Amino acid sequence: MGQQSLDNWIGREIMNDGEISEYQAAQIHVTVGEGNPPRKGDAMPYLWHWCAFPTVASNDLLGADGHVHQSKLLPPVPMPRRMWAGGRLQFFKPTYVGESLKRKSKVRSISEKMGKVGPLVIVTVEHDLYSEHGLVIKEMQDIVYLEIPDRFTPPTKLEVPSKTRELIDIPETLLFRYSAITFNAHRIHYDLPYTQEIEKYPNLIVHGPMQATFLMRHAVRDFGYSVANFEFRSVHPMFVGNPCGITQQVNENVVSLWAVQDDHQCMQAKITLKDTL
């Protein structure tokens, strides 16, 4: 599929309804939360909205990797590896457990590039999340498609910029639970033979959004619910087994965070705090 054909998908738009019920909130809480679980009517922690709009598709619509292979929104990019590589979010108002939500999703851009490991396609999707109080979150999501290599060649390791402040255990059960609460059937998170034999990774992959959620959770401990903007980018796969480390640096109202493993960066993130601090 050439760039001209892919460009035909730019501007495609869909609407979805969603919510996080009290029962779902309890499931999310025991997976990635801390403290007391939010009850119906309580404000939800940041990024829990990622569990509110699962892609509901029958089993026969799933591709070999577990993703839906005929999306109503995303273009049919002819590359077999797909990953959520990063994103940028603006938070305007809280979201609440049990409230009805709507999400307008739109393909903003599609670009073909040559990366270090070969050609790739980046699809950027804009999500506008609404509650009865109006626009609550605006999000840009970067989805990267690329070929599967003959063997695993890890990206260049980037040194950890400061002392690790927190260690989070990453067992296989945690990956399974996060896949369950997000209704994500991508096999690299639970199917080790597929992950090693087909996608050529040495071990199961820790979800990027889960790493981002841990980074956000860590920052909220220090700064509370005062986040205006959040951006994140995966720079190296994180694997099941060894702990996920969290490190942080603060410069006025900007908090830089890293998810690290084995003394190298896996995810970079940045939070801009509201001016009221």
Closest to 235 (Cα-Cα) out of 265, 203, 205: 265
Q: What is the pLDDT of residue 7?
A: 87
Indicate if the pLDDT at residue 277 is higher than 50. no
Indicate if the pLDDT at residue 141 is higher than 90. yes
Q: What is the pLDDT of residue 171?
A: 97
Indicate if the pLDDT at residue 232 is higher than 80. yes
Q: What is the pLDDT of residue 174?
A: 98
| Cα–Cα distance measured from residue 128 to residue 139, given in angstroms and rounded to the nearest whole number | 6
Helix (H, G, I), strand (E, B) or coil at 116: coil
Q: How confident is the model at residue 114 (pLDDT cuts 50, 70, 90)?
A: confident
Indicate if the pLDDT at residue 276 is higher than 80. no
Indicate if the pLDDT at residue 127 is higher than 50. yes
Indicate if the pLDDT at residue 3 is higher than 80. no
Indicate if the pLDDT at residue 57 is higher than 80. yes
The pLDDT tens digits for 171-201 are: 999 999 999 999 999 999 999 999 999 999 9
Distance set, CA 197 to CA 59, 167, 192, 200, 209 (Å): 22, 30, 8, 6, 24
Indicate if the pLDDT at residue 2 is higher than 60. no
pTM, 2 dp: 0.95
Q: What is the pLDDT of residue 4?
A: 60
Asked if residues 212 and 47 have their Cβ atoms less than 8 Å apart, the reply is yes
| Cα–Cα distance measured from residue 124 to residue 138, given in angstroms and rounded to the nearest whole number | 13
Asked if residues 137 and 49 have their Cβ atoms less than 8 Å apart, the reply is yes
Mean pLDDT across the stretch 76-98? 95
The angle that helices 208-223 and 22-32 make with each other, rounded to 10 degrees, is 90
